[in-house]
Amino acid sequence: MRLPRAAGILLHPTSLPGPHGSGDLGPSAFHFVDWLVAGGQRLWQMLPVGPVGEGHSPYMSPSAFAGNPQLVDLGELHERGWLAAEELADPPRFPDRRVAFADVAPWRAARLARAAARFADTASPQERAELDAFRRRESAWLRDYALFMALDEHFGGRPWGEWERGLAVREPGALADAARALGPRVAAHEFVQWCFFRQWARLRAYANARDVRLVGDVPIFVSYRSADAWSQPHLFELDADGRQTAVAGVPPDLFSATGQHWGNPLYRWPAHARDGYAWWTARIRRTFELVDLARIDHFRGFAAYWEIPAGEATAVNGRWVPGPGEALFDAVGAALGPLPVIAEDLGIITPDVDALRRALGFPGMAVLHFAWGQPDGSANRYLPHNLDHATVCLTGTHDNDTSVGWWAAQSEAVRRDVRDYLATDGHDIAWTLVRAACASVADTAIVPMQDALRLGGEHRMNLPGTANGNWGWRFTWADVGPAPADYLRRLAELYGRLGEAGPGLRPVPASAATAS
């Protein structure tokens, strides 16, 4: 699949400005779309938008199908009459440039609970009918998710394998009793999901109407603490009691000497194959109900994945195990048609991974930070003159330092090579790399917002291999000013990235644009 020649920005919605401690689907999201248009940017890439899990990571989600409650715009709930003005007035003094998750998450959750309760008491017949229609439309996953989240709260976040056995193994009588006992909380979780999907559809329609396409992110794995693993344990490497036998990660690499021990449950791929990859088909269908393009995270795991015994503390003692390969994507493609997918093919990429990506026709990724000074000799594949058209070129990803931070950490030898290659003195390295990405032959150039704002390493989004202190970066509109949009638009003009939407950009499905 060839993507049109275009440019975009990587920014997770939680990083947006806003009055309630975290970016959301409120006015700043619409203003960001307008800012993208002003800057000639046609793509908004974001991290996964499902509920977050341990460490507030969007890659450790309790559901592959639900939306993140933290992204719900509380102001819209007030406009609908489900939150009183005093419930949003005088919020705590949350920081403007950081999500203080420990304070923000419970404050927002309390307001969502109040809105759900007020809806239950005061909703009109039309509003109730809309929510009921949503429940029916999303019945394949919503009830399990809502009950799982209510039970997770009830058991204080304990792993579901440690719940009462009847609930852990999903005995029908135990589930029915729990659903009755926890009925208001189950209904509240369903209500919040309805709010998320209503608001998301409105934002996507606004973006698409302005020729801005949303680029989503599909984590290859879900969390063990998830409705998916609990409701369909046969699809995961779990024992008869629902406990993990092996977990996911990656071996030692440039990011970590001990590898990355993610802890996600691994898939039981033969079971997925027997089901015709139905769960994955449903998951990808949901993805394209939300976004126009999708980055498949850790694509190399579909060729082979790193299996770590469940008791290991690090990722060192693992092994490579063959993945499902083309069979999975053939099944999904047969059900859904051509897939506008970007393969995240960074890290340890062996010939079989590259062959799989090329066979599927998915564009890969190139990160300019990796183009110089790599000890494994892989540098040249990321140099702009060695890229091919079917590539997404980025200065860095959410896992990289900012370009300013990256530059500060380089040796003088690497800096010399960069200066020579890019004909720069290095004084403005962020915008120099932005220009290099835009000038490259890669069809798509995407820049983290931190690099568009020329920010230092203290604004990094994530440090791989660390469990805490990540995902919280935010900016304010006062940080932006006119220069970044002007510069980005000029680069898009210079390097042919302003054209009309072309092949490979999926139109907005009617169900997404008109969802109630």
Which 3 state secondary structure label does DSSP give 204? Answer: helix
Q: Is residue 514 part of a domain?
A: no
Residues 419 and 454 in one domain: yes
Beta strands in 222-336 (DSSP E): 246-250, 260-265, 293-296, 304-309, 319-322
- The confidence score (pLDDT) of residue 516 equals 33
Residues acting as catalytic residues: 297, 344, 399
Residues 114 and 241 in one domain: no
User: Model confidence over 103-136: pLDDT tens digits?
Assistant: 999 999 999 999 999 999 999 999 999 999 999 9
Residues 354 and 375 in one domain: no
When the pLDDT of each residue in the chain is averaged and rounded to a whole number, the result is 93
Measuring CA to CA, which residue among 251, 266, 271, 253 is closest to residue 310? 266
Which of 310, 327, 360 terminates a domain? The answer is: 360
Residues 34 and 158 in one domain: yes
Which of 339, 360, 381 terminates a domain? The answer is: 360
Radius of gyration over every alpha carbon of the chain, rounded to an integer in angstroms: 23
- The confidence score (pLDDT) of residue 464 equals 85
Six-digit token pair at 424?
Answer: 């720069």
Q: Is residue 222 part of a domain?
A: no
Residues 106 and 180 in one domain: yes
Give the span between the Cα atoms of 73 and 25, in whole angstroms: 5
Residues 489 and 419 in one domain: no
Burial class of residue 433 in the structure, from the number of CB atoms within 10 Å of its CB (0-12 exposed, 13-18 middle, 19+ buried): buried
| Block residue for tokens 């072309």 | 502
- The confidence score (pLDDT) of residue 427 equals 96
User: Model confidence over 390-432: pLDDT tens digits?
Assistant: 999 999 999 999 999 999 999 999 999 999 999 999 999 999 9
Six-digit token pair at 428?
Answer: 């403005």
- Asked if residues 186 and 146 have their Cβ atoms less than 8 Å apart, the reply is yes
Q: Is residue 162 part of a domain?
A: yes
Residues 345 and 464 in one domain: no
List 10's β-bridge partners, or say none: 45, 448
Q: Is residue 221 part of a domain?
A: no
Q: How confident is the model at residue 375 (pLDDT cuts 50, 70, 90)?
A: low
- Asked if residues 249 and 220 have their Cβ atoms less than 8 Å apart, the reply is no
Which of 317, 341, 360 terminates a domain? The answer is: 360
- The mean pLDDT of 17-27, rounded to a whole number, is 97
- The confidence score (pLDDT) of residue 254 equals 67
Q: Which amino acid is at 267?
A: Y
- Asked if residues 314 and 263 have their Cβ atoms less than 8 Å apart, the reply is no
Give the span between the Cα atoms of 322 and 350, in whole angstroms: 12
What is the dihedral angle through the alpha carbons of 150, 284, 497, 427, rounded to the nearest 10 degrees? Answer: 50
- Asked if residues 32 and 43 have their Cβ atoms less than 8 Å apart, the reply is no
Six-digit token pair at 287?
Answer: 């993805």
* 139 pLDDT above the threshold of 90: yes
Q: Is residue 516 part of a domain?
A: no
pTM score, whole prediction: 0.94
- The mean pLDDT of 133-151, rounded to a whole number, is 98
Structural domains of the chain, count: 3
Residues 299 and 266 in one domain: yes
User: Model confidence over 161-177: pLDDT tens digits?
Assistant: 999 999 999 999 999 99
Give the span between the Cα atoms of 371 and 354, in whole angstroms: 18
Residues 72 and 199 in one domain: yes
- The mean pLDDT of 247-269, rounded to a whole number, is 88
* 374 pLDDT above the threshold of 80: no
Measuring CA to CA, which residue among 392, 404, 398 is closest to residue 453? 404
Q: Is residue 422 part of a domain?
A: yes
Q: What percent of the chain has pLDDT over 70?
A: 95
- The confidence score (pLDDT) of residue 511 equals 31
- What stretch of H or E contains 326? helix 326-336
Residues 318 and 458 in one domain: no
Residues 100 and 175 in one domain: yes
Q: Is residue 515 part of a domain?
A: no
Give the span between the Cα atoms of 144 and 146, in whole angstroms: 6
- The confidence score (pLDDT) of residue 505 equals 39
* 512 pLDDT above the threshold of 90: no
Domain holding 165: CATH number?
3.20.20.80
Q: How many helices and strands, by DSSP H and E, does the chain display?
A: 20, 12
Can you spell out the DSSP letters for 52-68? P-GGG-TTS-S-SS---
Domain interval for residue 417: 364-475
Residues 151 and 210 in one domain: yes
Q: Is residue 126 part of a domain?
A: yes
Can you spell out the DSSP letters for 38-96? HTT--EEE----SPP-GGG-TTS-S-SS---GGGS-HHHHHHTTSS-HHHHSS-----S
Angle between helices 142-154 and 172-181 (to 10 degrees): 70
User: Model confidence over 306-345: pLDDT tens digits?
Assistant: 999 999 999 999 999 999 999 999 999 999 999 999 999 9
User: Model confidence over 173-209: pLDDT tens digits?
Assistant: 999 999 999 999 999 999 999 999 999 999 999 999 9
What backbone phi and psi angles, to 5 degrees, belong to 5? -70, 115
